[in-house]
Amino acid sequence: MAYLRLKTLHLIPVFFLVTFASFMMLDLLPGDTVDAILSDADTGEIGSMEAREALRKELNLDKPLIVRYALWLGNMVQGDLGRSYVTTQPVTEALVQRIPVSLELMIMSQILAIAMAIPIGIYSGYHGGSTVDRGISAFAFGVLSIPVFVAGTVYIWIFAIELGWLPSSGHTDFSEDPWGNIKGFILPALTLATIEFPILMRVLRVDVISTLQEDYIALAKSKGMTTWYILFHHALRPSSFTFVTLLGLQIGQLITGTVVIETLFSIPGVGKLLIDSVDTRDEIMVQGVITFIAIVYVVVNLLVDLLYAVLDPRVARRA
């Protein structure tokens, strides 16, 4: 398919651009790169002469830029993103530990968001134009104006501090304490879901309204089918594919949300790793995490585009 080839070809320059930008970040550091990396965040002490030379060699700083990039890229492709100069842990190892935690948060929040969006969206669309519908739309508009960290803070205040129902922070491994693990994820996932669901709900609402206006729905109704049967068999099916692509398109917001939520609720995921590394001025770790997130983002976006083309052939033809 021409569209697939076009999109995949498009990926190549974007991949190089993203990796090169990530690679170049170290060069943004003020002053000498080695000094900046080795200097202690608190004391400002610079490492020993041998350590400096070793690092200079490891980062290939004696070689020209393009060679350095090629070497870095080669290592990256083999899964080597360098190692932290604060914790001495390899970046890839840190990522591997953190990825499942972030994934669990994302998946839980999306399930919650869909669970909230479907009933509200269908109800709102079915009663399109009613007072309740207008109220729901106004509410969704308001929710869209809440930054994710504000929502999280308010939830912690209400559900953890005032009501004491759920923990405000802390994470336990699923293998150690499954219920504790899930309990720890409820508030964070709920926060993310709160931010995500209004858009899904709005799309579903509009789809339900426009589907209900189709002649064939009136026809189905006239044949004596129940309204709920019609809603679920005719209205929900075309909506669901807009829905799937929308979930994909929200990936950017989801990444932002995950970084914020992990920091707010102290969940040891990839986002928390990034912010912690910023706090400890762990340059190599920051660079590695950013590279990783950027590549994931590019690949997910490509997959979404392709999925979109598969679901709706018109997209492919338009390109």
CA distance 177 to 182: 9
Closest CA to 267 of 84, 97, 111: 97
Among 61, 182, 298, 315, binds another protein (CB under 8 A): 298
Closest CA to 269 of 157, 109, 122, 54: 109
**Residue whose entry in the numeric block shows the structure tokens 């102290």:** 266
Residues 137-166 that bind another protein (CB under 8 A): 141-142, 144-150, 153-154, 156-157, 161
Closest CA to 190 of 105, 99, 102: 105
Min dist CB 147 to another protein, Å, is 5
- Tell whether residue 9 is a contact of another protein (CB under 8 A): no
Cβ partners under 8 Å of residue 138, min gap 6: none
Could you tell me which residues are beta bridge partners of residue 83? 90
Which region among 13-21, 38-46, 172-180, 306-314 touches another protein (by CB under 8 A)? 13-21
- Tell whether residue 128 is a contact of another protein (CB under 8 A): yes
Among 74, 135, 252, 313, binds another protein (CB under 8 A): 252
What six digits make up the tokens of 270? 């990839």
Residues 36-55 that bind another protein (CB under 8 A): none
What six digits make up the tokens of 28? 């943004």
Q: Cα 186–171–166 angle (5° rounding)?
A: 40
- Tell whether residue 77 is a contact of another protein (CB under 8 A): no
- Distance between start and end Cα atoms, the chain: 11
Asked if 196 and 253 touch (Cβ cutoff 8 Å), the reply is yes
CA distance 246 to 242: 6
Among 28, 66, 77, 163, binds another protein (CB under 8 A): 28
Asked if 75 and 91 touch (Cβ cutoff 8 Å), the reply is no
Q: What is the DSSP letter of 104?
A: H
Among 5, 30, 44, 175, binds another protein (CB under 8 A): 30
- Tell whether residue 4 is a contact of another protein (CB under 8 A): no
Among 31, 64, 129, 224, binds another protein (CB under 8 A): 129
Min dist CB 176 to another protein, Å, is 26
Residues 199-238 that bind another protein (CB under 8 A): 209, 212-213, 215, 218-219, 221-222, 227
Residues near another protein (CB under 8 A) are 10, 13-14, 17-18, 21-22, 25-26, 28-30, 126-130, 141-142, 144-150, 153-154, 156-157, 161, 168, 209, 212-213, 215, 218-219, 221-222, 227, 252, 255-256, 259-260, 263-264, 274-275, 278-279, 283, 286-287, 290, 293-294, 297-298, 301
